[in-house]
């Protein structure tokens, strides 16, 4: 019974938050922001029908993430049945010092998260890192911090990437072409560095104090004692696929054109999808576009990929590896099933997190929100821009919103331009933008509806309250650093 309690503990906490939000819709009026200011919509109560409707939209909003998560599970479910994967993991672990490994993996995961356009693509490499850290005998809290915690640092220090920061920018009309945006970009890079230094300091301090017999954990147990051990030792297929996945993640999820003015990938995509074709009969104009028809019409150029694109590629690689390692049909599907099972509960947590956001923004799932009413009261305390009220407003929005882009939507009008923040605080957009993006990442360290944190807690079987006991010192130190940065951005 206790094991079930631990298994579903976080999900229950999320549902409690959802229930509280439902009750608040009956008490607090909803409102919306536009270029003309705040407008109250009245009390928009959440009813019985809205439960089913919001659940549908919650699944829809999180579907791309859930699919990628399950595909990652299937991929590792297959490769962990090979001796080759065990040899790779153990070989790397033997060459690394535990503290060096923690810092190295933390920097890679946080840095990658900071620049890619979809946070979830980084999760592709997390099970591998967990396996290496497990071989190094790290306790499960250190493993959680080094992997999922480092991703959260990358979200907090978002620079060129993360879907939250990107969508927030879109709704504010705030892009890299905006005048004077580069100083704010450098500040966010500074937040990333400060976050990494402070976060790793506390992680290493924890490692010094933790009992050497503390429980370690591996997300995917490696099966080495079976009938296929002797014929699956060849490491080359897994190494090649792993390298290709990393390269594709960097190339496919870095916005090369918008961020760096690089057009080569879009030109290449146009060439292979439009120019390489076999012309059909003139009367039918049924040309066969060789590569476009094979890879799919909706596949975008490198730099504009989404979670569905990389999911399809991982599925293809999973099948190829199964063929290379001569999996039987039944073995292949059993391995996929065992891998997917690892992420069923985390997938439910994703749905729960989006459900909270939709309840809060009932009934339009867009701009109307009772949080907007509270934020309006807070911002009205002072005239003009104020660090305290803006920080508090950002924290409140981000606690209830799983997606930072949704916060931008609530603070903007339907056309995504001329919105409230840009109109009201035009002279302070650099600090405002930095506040919302960095505090979004900051909040994800402790709210139960944090998707990345939720996946880590459930997958590594760490209690939510234990994580809070571990992370609170970092949160206090980081919040002080952020406030200092916000003040300096405002007065300089």
| pLDDT for the residue 414 | 46
Q: Which one of 302, 335, 359 terminates a domain?
A: 302
Residue in 222, 150, 176, 149 with CA at minimum distance from that of residue 454: 149
Number of neighbours of residue 146 by Cβ within 10 angstroms? 28
Among 280, 302, 324, the domain-final residue is 302
* pLDDT tens-place string over residues 312-347: 999 999 999 999 998 989 989 999 999 999 999 999
* 165 shares a domain with 296: no
| 248 and 321 in a common domain | yes
Give every CB contact of residue 139 below 8 A, 6+ residues apart in sequence.
Answer: 207, 210, 211, 214, 215, 216
User: What φ, ψ does residue 32 adopt, rounded to 5°?
Assistant: -145, 155
Contacts (Cβ under 8 Å, ≥6 apart) of 302: 251, 252, 256, 265, 268, 269
Q: How many other CB atoms sit within 10 Å of the CB of residue 94?
A: 9
227 is in which domain, residue-wise?
A: 2-255+303-491
My answer on whether 246 and 277 are in the same domain is: no
* Residue count (the chain): 492
Q: Are residues 468 and 413 in the same domain?
A: yes
**The pTM is what?**
0.90
- Here the tokens at position 287 are 């040309």
Same-domain pairing of 251 and 289:
no
- 472 and 433, same structural domain? yes
Q: What is the pLDDT of residue 184?
A: 74
Last residue of a domain, one of 302, 328, 363: 302
**Residue 38 burial by CB count (10 A; 0-12/13-18/19+): exposed, middle or buried?**
middle
152 shares its domain with 117: yes
User: Alpha-carbon Rg of the chain, whole angstroms?
Assistant: 24
CB atoms within 10 A of CB 53: 16
Distance CA 447, CA 412 (A): 25
Write out residues in the chain with pLDDT < 50, as ranges: 1, 227-231, 282-284, 414-418
Q: How far apart are CA 263 and CA 387, in angstroms?
A: 39
Query: What is the per-residue pLDDT across 146-205, written as a single tens digit (0 to 9) for each?
Result: 999 999 999 999 888 777 677 777 777 666 555 566 677 888 899 999 999 999 999 999
Mark whether 372 and 223 lie in a shared domain. Answer: yes
Same domain, 154 and 138: yes
Residue 244, number of CB atoms within 10 A of its CB: 12
Q: Tell me if 69 sits within 8 A of 451, measured CB to CB.
A: no
Distance CA 205, CA 203 (A): 5
Write the CB contacts of 297 (distance below 8 Å, at least 6 apart in sequence): none
For the chain, what is the domain count? 2
**Does one domain contain both 141 and 268?**
no
Give yes or no: residues 250 and 328 share one domain.
yes
Name the one residue in this structure whose structure tokens are 């979004």: 440
Residue 182 three-state SS:
helix
Q: What is the pLDDT of residue 418?
A: 46
197/287 same-domain check: no
Contact (Cβ atoms closer than 8 angstroms) between residue 120 and residue 347: no
pLDDT attached to residue 178: 57
Q: Reduced to 3 states, what is the DSSP secondary structure of residue 217? A: coil
Q: What are 265's two structure tokens?
A: 């990938």
Residue 220: CA count within 13 A, CB half-sphere: 33
CB 166 within 8 A of CB 255: yes
């Amino acid at each position: 019974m206790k094991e079930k309690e631990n298994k579903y503990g976080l999900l229950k906490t999320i549902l409690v938050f959802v229930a509280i939000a439902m009750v608040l819709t009956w008490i607090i009026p909803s409102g919306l922001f536009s270029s003309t200011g705040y407008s109250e919509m009245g009390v928009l109560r959440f009813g019985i029908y809205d439960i089913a409707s919001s659940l549908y939209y919650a699944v829809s909003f999180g579907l791309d993430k859930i699919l990628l998560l399950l595909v990652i599970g299937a991929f590792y479910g297959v490769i962990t049945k090979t001796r080759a994967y065990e040899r790779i993991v153990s070989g790397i672990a033997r060459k690394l010092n535990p503290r060096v490994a923690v810092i190295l993996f933390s920097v890679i995961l946080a840095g990658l998260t900071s620049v890619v356009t979809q946070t979830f693509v980084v999760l592709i490499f997390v099970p591998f890192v967990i396996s290496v850290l497990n071989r190094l005998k790290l306790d499960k809290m250190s493993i959680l911090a080094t992997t999922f915690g480092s991703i959260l640092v990358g979200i907090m220090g978002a620079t060129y990437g993360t879907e939250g920061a990107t969508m927030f920018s879109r709704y504010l009309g705030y892009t890299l072409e905006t005048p004077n945006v580069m100083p704010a970009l450098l500040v966010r890079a500074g937040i990333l560095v400060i976050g990494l230094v402070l976060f790793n300091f506390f992680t290493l301090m924890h490692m010094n104090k933790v009992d050497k017999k503390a429980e370690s954990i591996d997300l995917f147990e490696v099966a080495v004692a079976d009938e296929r051990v002797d014929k699956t030792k060849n490491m080359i297929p897994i190494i090649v696929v792993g390298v290709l996945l990393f390269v594709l993640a960097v190339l496919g999820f870095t916005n090369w054109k918008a961020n760096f003015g690089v057009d080569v990938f879009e030109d290449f995509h146009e060439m292979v999808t439009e120019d390489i074709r076999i012309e059909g009969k003139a009367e039918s104009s049924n040309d066969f576009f060789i590569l476009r028809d094979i890879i799919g019409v909706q596949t975008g150029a490198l730099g504009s990929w989404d979670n569905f694109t990389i999911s399809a590629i991982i599925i293809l690689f999973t099948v190829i590896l199964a063929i290379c390692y001569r999996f039987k049909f039944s073995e292949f599907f059993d391995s996929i099933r065992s891998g997917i099972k690892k992420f069923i509960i985390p997938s439910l947590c994703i749905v729960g997190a989006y459900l909270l956001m939709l309840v809060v923004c009932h009934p339009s799932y867009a701009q109307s929100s009772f949080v907007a009413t509270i934020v309006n009261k807070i911002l009205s305390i002072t005239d003009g821009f104020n660090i305290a009220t803006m920080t508090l407003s950002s924290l409140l929005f981000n606690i209830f919103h799983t997606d930072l882009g949704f916060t931008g939507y609530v603070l903007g009008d339907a056309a995504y331009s001329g919105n409230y923040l840009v109109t009201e605080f035009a002279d302070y957009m650099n600090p405002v933008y930095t506040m919302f993006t960095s505090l979004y990442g900051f909040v994800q360290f402790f709210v139960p509806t944090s998707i990345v944190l939720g996946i880590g807690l459930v997958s590594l079987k760490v209690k939510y309250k234990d994580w809070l006991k571990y992370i609170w010192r970092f949160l206090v130190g980081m919040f002080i650093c952020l406030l200092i940065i916000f003040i300096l951005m405002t007065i300089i």
